[in-house]
Structure formats: C-alpha cells, structure tokens
Amino acid sequence: MRKNFCKPQRWLPLVLFALVTCAFLPCSFAGRGSKVKNAKPTPPFTIPDKVAGQGYVYFVAMGDQGEGSPEQRKVAELINAKAQKDSLEFVLLLGDNFYSDGVSGVNDPQWRTKFEDMYNLPGLNVPFYAALGNHDHHKNNARYQVEYTQRSKKWKMPAPFYTFTQKIDAQNEVQFFALDTQIIAETKPDKTSQIQWLEQELQNSKAKWKIVFGHHPVFSYGEHGNDRRMVERVRPLLEKYEVDAYFCGHDHDRQLIEPVNGVYYIISGTGAKSRSTMYGKNTIFAATNLGYVWVRVSPEEFHVQFLDGAGKIEYAHTWTKGSVAKRSYEELMPVGKGGKSSKKAKKDRKERTQSNRWW
C-alpha cells in the first residue's frame, strides 16, 4: 500500500487539493505576520490615573472585523477582558461589518455567526454603534444593516449616517457622528446630502467633545493611503467645527496620526485581520496584526490606548481639551501615499455597487 501511494497519481491530487484549499482560506489568515515598515521606537507614554468621583465615558473603536473567524473571536475575548477590568459602555464599529458582501437581509445567518454569537460575552453586553464600510455596500446590501436595528438590542444603526450623545457627567457630554463614507468617497462631485447634514449637526452641537467616525480614512499611511474625497469634503468640516478626533478602519492596521488643525486621526482596522503598514512623516504611532483601540474620556481629558493581539497596551496617548496644536493642513501635507491613486483604491471603486444612494 505504501509502495502504491508513492506513485504521483496517488499523492498529486492531495497536494493540489491542499494548495487550492489554502488559497481560499479566510482573509484573516493571510494577515498573520504583517509588518510595520520604517518603524520607529514607540514614544514613551503614561496612563493617567482615574480621578475619584470624576465622570468618564469608555468605548472601543474597531473596524474590518466581519470575518466570522477565530481571529475575530479572539479580539472579542480581548475586548471582553478589557471591559471587565477597565470598563466599557459601548463599541464603535468602523465598517466592513460583514465580509465579503454585507448581509443579504435581516434574517441572514451572518447576523448570528459574525455578530450576535461572536460578541455574546459578559463584558460586551453593550450597544454596538456601527458605520457602513465598502464591503457592506456590495450588492446594494447596506440597507439591511439599518433595518436590523429594529431586531437587535445591541446593534445600533438607525440610519446610514446618524449622531448620538453620551453623557460624561451632568454638565458635559460627548457627541458622536457616524458617516457612510462609501457615499462620500465614491460619489462624484458631491451629490450627497450627507455633507450638508454633517455640517448642520456639527454646527448645532453643544457637546464638550465631538468625535466623527466612519470607514474610509482621511489620512493614512496604510495600503489605501489618504482618501482624496475625504480630504476635500470631510476634513474642512472637522477643522471648522473643532472636532476632536476622526476614527476609521479600511486600512487593516492601527495608526495615530499627528493632528491637523487640532483634529487627531485614529485608524483601528484590525478587528479580525491585518495588513502591513508603515511609519510616515506625521505618524505618532503605528502597529499591525490583531488588536483594537480603547478610549476613556473625561470632561477635560481624552485618553486613547492601542492594544495588541495579546491584550497588551502597545501605546497610549492623552491630550486635554484646548491643548492640541493647530498645525495647518498646508504645513503638514503631503502625508500618506495619496490614497485614491493606489491600485487598492481603484479596485475598491470597481467593486462598489451600482446604486449607492439607496436612502
């Protein structure tokens, strides 16, 4: 029997089967061993002690998590451990919530395997405020993530773009603005009412802190790079209305980019997979492989922690209200790799649905 197995016609089909199987493994496996190019030593950091009696808001930001894989579950368990140790009130999902083509309806089994069961952990019994990513729009499926809000106690997406507030204490609150950046990044010239909506909401906001989140980066040193239309359409509003931070995914890494006109840019796209990234001219910190971002906000202090796939704090950054230097866009640019000129960005445009404006 062993002698017969040595014949090519016996083992060659098995080899070919193994090669084909590996080629179609989930993308999350392909991200293992991603590298940070041109890496620099991590800056020294401290973690400020909490003040007794002080009000705080605690949340996690992560994107590109919708794989339904062991890697996604691992990140969920790490967040659960962090929640039980350091508190968690809600999660921001930064898009690409369901690979590869969103969900086909409110009864799609992916709701169970990639969301409800995936985050069924004691520390994650909190709201998940979600933004849409480019994969969520595939096959014109984005609408079902809005509709599912009526089905779930945890899933929160009342509209393709929306706002909500979270109280820090009796006098102070944080306001969040969720964007559907696929519409902004892929619509020529600005035919969407979303930009007008964002400006009106930011103008009306009385919140102490303002945070905008979506899927596509404004600035990034990852594979996608800067998104030209996000730079042109969203960046000016963030600066004009003194938004404190913009959170996004799309690039499967973690980045903290030096603030532009007072706005910090934070990328957290490693909720289930990763991709190599790099340090650029204005990088404060960059990392890859599995991980997420945890945030603690008080009336005067904004504290961000970057955590890796072992639950270790890689880097932390803290700033106080009104302390951020307002270095201009013209002074800091160019940063990143130009975004929409990249091959990856062109592929994303090609993959978009024929009818993005479903709302």
> Percent of the chain having pLDDT more than 70?
82
CATH topology of domain 58-351: Purple Acid Phosphatase; chain A, domain 2 (3.60.21)
Q: Model confidence over 254-275: pLDDT tens digits?
A: 999 999 999 999 999 999 999 9
Rounded to the nearest 5°, which phi and psi values hold at 163? -135, 155
* Pairwise CA distance, residues 220 & 238, whole Å: 16
- The end-to-end CA distance of the chain, in Å, is 64
Average pLDDT of the chain to the nearest whole number = 88
71 φ/ψ sector (left φ>0, alpha ψ -120 to 50, else beta): alpha
pLDDT at position 350: 52
Strands 209-213 and 173-178: parallel
- Which runs of E-coded beta strand occur in the chain? 36-37, 57-62, 90-93, 128-130, 155-156, 162-167, 173-178, 209-213, 245-248, 254-260, 263-268, 277-278, 283-287, 291-297, 301-308, 313-320
Strands 162-167 and 173-178: antiparallel
The structure tokens listed for 301 are 């202090």
Residue 340 to residues 223, 225, 347, Cα–Cα distance (Å): 10, 7, 10
* Pairwise CA distance, residues 342 & 185, whole Å: 14
pLDDT at position 74: 98
Give the start-to-end residue ranges of the domains of the chain: 58-351
pLDDT at position 18: 41
* Residue 107 and residue 37 in contact, taking contact as beta carbons nearer than 8 Å: no
Residue 358: half-sphere exposure toward Cβ, Cα within 13 Å: 21
Each residue's pLDDT expressed in tens, for the chain with a length of 359 residues: 444 544 545 545 444 444 433 333 444 344 567 999 999 999 999 999 999 999 999 999 999 999 999 999 999 999 999 999 999 999 999 999 999 999 999 999 999 999 999 999 999 999 999 999 999 999 999 999 999 999 999 999 999 999 999 999 999 999 999 999 999 988 766 556 899 999 999 999 999 999 999 999 999 999 999 999 999 999 999 999 999 999 999 999 999 999 999 999 999 999 999 999 999 999 999 999 999 999 999 999 999 999 999 999 999 999 999 999 899 888 887 544 444 444 555 555 554 433 344 45
* Pairwise CA distance, residues 160 & 171, whole Å: 29
* Pairwise CA distance, residues 165 & 11, whole Å: 61
